[in-house]
Structure 1
């Protein structure tokens, strides 16, 4: 019996592709984060309302482990990111101009942010009617002052900054090493090649941690709700609202205005491209931990890769509109009202000065206690006021860090646009999901953008 060549029974028929069957749809990273937020709130409320101790402990451990994993890579990541970013400037024409413009826009946006914080604080009087008294405060174990800040930049040895996670000293050592490498020229190339390889390794490892953010979100948000509860937050309702409103005004008011009028680009496209970094910052509360995502979204927004590799690490350790501008301004007014201290115009000018010059003290880590103590000590306000705000700091820090990271992505876009090195085609087509396709991303796109002299 012969079978016709046209028969469907012939061996020429292609086997069925096993991958063509039922597929589980891929959940976008942002949706995973949102789901983690919702689940965390529900579990936190359940743990607190039903007094479930094991759930309370579990949420605490999940959130703590996620933060520990982020911090694990912080010290070497900052060192090699700053070192490589400085040496990469040799590939950029007119690097000094770009660096100075970046610093200038860091300062301008910080001044705007601190002005908004002061205005909101003066209008709302966040310390009035809280029921809190100076007895509720507690001085921190360590405090920041200008002497500590200035003398603390230079480390006593090369090991302690890494073991104690003193990011400011790590930045100092990395900057010195980067400048020395530039001076050595070709002799330093083996070190630079090794540094670039180590940086890529660290970023890859940190990316795996970032993918755990939805699980970390459940623990962080859940524990915050279970530990603090709505009753405690109620005492700080005005202050909490002020921080969130102030950050929102900068994030969704000032930044879009700068994009539209100064950079002359579509603000909505910026948020579409930068949103993965902003939402991860909200959850992780760490600018440095978010830095790989921030750098990736900034590149995809059309900023040249060589410039991005400098501006984003630099911003992750010094650019803090939320933690170092809005928050200390509001906190100073809040604490002054609790302790019945009158602030004058000179005090408000000092707050603005500290916010611009001392923002590096926050160093891109979770929390802004050092910056707050630096502000209070400069104004002569009681440091016991720090204890009043530590109770709800994680709730505040989420919005502060999201604002920080948005600004860290915004300034390179503004500077690149003004210097005419922004790839507008890339900006207008920026993907909103770099976390989902990072492994297959085109790493060389940014290098194709010419950097004008």
Structure 2
């Protein structure tokens, strides 16, 4: 199988999944449908299994690694700034498209039977949920937002402690390398996981369920596509003076895996590999990519909640005021960490609806088609997570332009251990530092 390019393997899994799902649906083959669901579910479970240790160790190591980067604070602030800028543009696309197509107008659904989802988000829940009452419980429950908080605090403390914390940092590096190795085995199963996930979606949902929500589904895909093929290329060209085609050639393995896995965190090793191949220094990429995988969600936290809020308001007959659209933008930029890089954007949606005072039962109307929407949303998320470090590195003069221009000419390969060079020369000097940054 290694002789077949990984992207071709994914495509074959996608096509075969569509065919098997269609056969299971029209032929009423119950065992085939349940098998497809089991295969896809196991793939997602394996990805989720690696999330807590991967997020914690990656962020601890990345925060400590900033010690070797000159102007680290400047790079971190620029990263956050571009996270916010691209999120604001993306939510603008969602709002504009929602006002143009009116996704909920004319839709007839049984709103009386809709119930609020069990898992909801609110500002008080979001803010109080950042700090764990029990650090062990955060890992047991898989609360990524709390794990991120713990990792950043522990990493910053280890950075300030210095030499005495080196054994702890080395332990985290070792655990990160082990988790990445195990996760890579899971990533190699992505073609089989794709077959199961797509096949189950076709068998379980079909057109009968999608038909009433076809306009909304199309709007989400079109909105994410606008961000991918219009907004991001403009940012690359105007802000980074970079060729967008080279960016997508280098970032494609991560975007493709994100589409089928529906997990930004599960895709994180591939995203970091892609970003480094695009010429971003490893020390900076090891901070920006893990941080982005848990907070940078242009699909799940910008385009989708904007369109979903307009959809719910129109279905329930609630008029939205100009201030409400400002609130949507504010929630998207500030609250995107609530999605936490896991499959689905339910918490972010309920957070947006509760802020606007819209019926939370509206989120229940969209739960059935959420897996189908989540594929395109997550692909957009990961593209943005690769875009921002690339643009910041280009603007700060630390991007390896030769590596960027040659990106995408190699197939997906297993990443090197975290403490070794990524198969190419070191990233070179960082502005303000006249000595090369150690690889």
TM-score, normalized by the shorter chain, greater than 0.5: yes
SS of 1:447's partner is coil
Once the two structures are superposed, the pairs formed by residues 8-407 of structure 1 within 5 Å of their partners are: 26-407=3-384
How far did 1:439 drift? 6.0
SS of 1:73's partner is helix
Distance change (3 Å), C-alpha of 1:391 and 1:433: farther
How far did 1:450 drift? 1.7
SS of 1:143's partner is coil
SS of 1:120's partner is helix
Residue 422 (structure 2) aligned to one of 436, 443, 448: 443
How far did 1:130 drift? 2.2
Return the alpha-carbon distance in structure 1 between the equivalents of residues 316 and 116 of structure 2: 13
SS of 2:169's partner is helix
Encode CA deviations 1:3-45: one digit per residue, 9 max, x unaligned: xxxxxxxxxxxxxxxxxxxxx8811000010111111111111
Return the alpha-carbon distance in structure 2 between the equivalents of residues 130 and 226 of structure 1: 24
Return the alpha-carbon distance in structure 1 between the equivalents of residues 410 and 221 of structure 2: 25
How far did 1:433 drift? 4.2
Q: Aligned pairs, how many?
A: 430
**Residue in 1 aligned with 2:431?**
452
Return the alpha-carbon distance in structure 2 between the equivalents of residues 113 and 120 of structure 1: 11
Return the alpha-carbon distance in structure 2 between the equivalents of residues 367 and 182 of structure 1: 33
**Residue in 1 aligned with 2:435?**
none
Return the alpha-carbon distance in structure 2 between the equivalents of residues 189 and 69 of structure 1: 31
Distance change (3 Å), C-alpha of 1:161 and 1:434: farther
Does the 8 Å CA contact 2:224/2:376 hold for their aligned counterparts? yes
Return the alpha-carbon distance in structure 2 between the equivalents of residues 113 and 181 of structure 1: 36
Return the alpha-carbon distance in structure 2 between the equivalents of residues 51 and 392 of structure 1: 20
**Residue in 1 aligned with 2:396?**
419
Matched, 1:410 2:387: yes
SS of 1:289's partner is coil
Return the alpha-carbon distance in structure 1 between the equivalents of residues 258 and 293 of structure 2: 11
SS of 2:426's partner is helix
Does the 8 Å CA contact 1:133/1:339 hold for their aligned counterparts? no
- Structure 2 unaligned spans of 5+: 433-439
Does the 8 Å CA contact 1:244/1:396 hold for their aligned counterparts? yes
How far did 1:293 drift? 0.2
**Residue in 1 aligned with 2:436?**
none
How does the TM-score come out when normalised to structure 1?
Answer: 0.93
Does the 8 Å CA contact 1:130/1:235 hold for their aligned counterparts? yes
Does the 8 Å CA contact 1:274/1:432 hold for their aligned counterparts? no
Encode CA deviations 1:405-449: one digit per residue, 9 max, x unaligned: 000000001000000000000100113545245469952636342
How far did 1:129 drift? 2.1
Encode CA deviations 1:369-428: one digit per residue, 9 max, x unaligned: 000000000000010001100010000000000000000000001000000000000100
Return the alpha-carbon distance in structure 2 between the equivalents of residues 147 and 414 of structure 1: 34
Does the 8 Å CA contact 1:323/1:362 hold for their aligned counterparts? yes
Return the alpha-carbon distance in structure 2 between the equivalents of residues 442 and 100 of structure 1: 26
- Structure 1 unaligned spans of 5+: 1-23
Return the alpha-carbon distance in structure 2 between the equivalents of residues 165 and 439 of structure 1: 27
Distance change (3 Å), C-alpha of 1:157 and 1:437: closer
Does the 8 Å CA contact 1:71/1:289 hold for their aligned counterparts? yes
How far did 1:134 drift? 1.6
Distance change (3 Å), C-alpha of 1:198 and 1:447: farther
Q: Cα RMSD (Å) of the superposition?
A: 1.4
